[in-house]
Each structure stands twice: as structure tokens, then as C-alpha cells.
Amino acid sequence: MALTESNMLPLGTQAPDFVLLDVVSKEEKSLLLLKGKNGTLIVFSCNHCPYVIHLLDAFLIKVKQWNPLGINTIVISSNSIESHPQDGPAEMAVLAREKGFDFPYLFDETQEVAHAYDAACTPDFYLFDSALKLNYRGRFDASRPGNDNPLNGEDLQAAVDALLHKKTPLTEQWPGMGCNIKWHPGNEPANWNV
């Protein structure tokens, strides 16, 4: 596991469109189909990362709070299943069912979507407004496996609150941190140095 920070895509960036396999429904889903009325949260994640496992239950509680407010969540796994077969579509579907995901869990087999979003780690959070302009990117909160910071999602919650109340994006945004995305050999981004 290589500890990696998110790349902090510039605020205001238009969300790159995509069509990916939803591992539960086994249907192709597009960003335009899945986007929320008031905002869209896109999360790069995976099954095995200890940083994801650490916050998953707290994250699922937040998603249930945000969905009725018009914030739709989309979770994407871009990890290579050659090196990490536990992050493949069948295993993703098992996790989604076990945890009761009420959002699509999409598989980015080619890793093109991860590249388009300049995603670097799991988990990596991107909050877009109703026009799919980037309002927040970074961390869920300051909690990590092994530290004593509260696991409450306060950073992402503050971003959601600002978005819903039509305030300007938060001026202070901290990068996310977790395991690096497991790139296919030769598919690593140019700025990748792990």
C-alpha cells in the first residue's frame, strides 16, 4: 500500500462525461443519467483499501442524508484487477449488496475515467454542482486508520452545505489521502511517482 494524496483538480472544472458498467445492475450507466438535481458526488474507491474500509460505514450514513437533498452519489473503482482481483466487478457487487449501497458502483476497466478526473487515491472525493462544475475535491475528514481524529465527514459535509446553500466553494480544501490507484502496467499517469 502506497500512501497517496489526491491531485486537487482545479475548482470549476466541468465533470468529464463517462459511461461505465454498474456492477450490481450489470447495465452501462452515464454521468448524465446519474447526476443529481442539486449536485453530484463522485468518489473513486475500491474494495480492499484500508482507508476506504475505515470510513465506509460513516460515508454510507452521509450518503443516505444527502440523497433526499438532491445530491446523487456515484462510486467508481478504477483499480487494475490484474494486480488486485479483489477489486473486480463480481467482488464489487458482493460488497455493494452486503453494505446496501443505494448508489451505483461503477467499474472503470480501462482507467480512462480515473485519468480524466486526475484521480490518484482511494478514496478520492469530487463534489460537483447542478451544472457539473467542480465545487470540492479532497478528503472526507481528517480521520485515518490509526489516528484519533473523529470520523464524522465534516470536511465533505461542509462542502455539501455550502453547495446546497449556494455559497461560494470552501476556500480551504484538504487533499484526500489513501492507497494509490492500482494502475495497469504502462497506464500510470505522467505525474505518478509511487
Looking at the structure of the chain, the number of domains it has is: 1
Query: How would you write the pLDDT of the chain (194 residues) with one tens digit per residue?
Result: 467 888 889 999 999 999 999 999 999 999 999 999 999 999 999 999 999 999 999 999 999 999 999 999 999 999 999 988 899 999 999 999 999 999 999 999 999 999 999 999 999 999 999 999 999 999 999 999 988 899 999 999 999 999 999 998 888 899 989 999 999 987 777 766 54
The answer to whether residue 194 is domain-embedded is: no
Q: How far is CA 165 from CA 105, 161, 168, 182, in A?
A: 28, 6, 9, 37
The answer to whether residue 192 is domain-embedded is: no
Count Cβ atoms below 10 Å from residue 105 Cβ, excluding itself.
Answer: 26
The answer to whether residue 190 is domain-embedded is: no
Query: Pick from 35, 73, 37, 36: which is nearest to 153 by CA?
Result: 73
- The CATH number linked to 30 is 3.40.30.10
Parent domain of 18: 3-180
Residue 90 in 3-state DSSP? helix
pTM: 0.94
The answer to whether residue 54 is domain-embedded is: yes
CA torsion sign, 144 to 146 to 149 to 152? positive
The answer to whether residue 191 is domain-embedded is: no
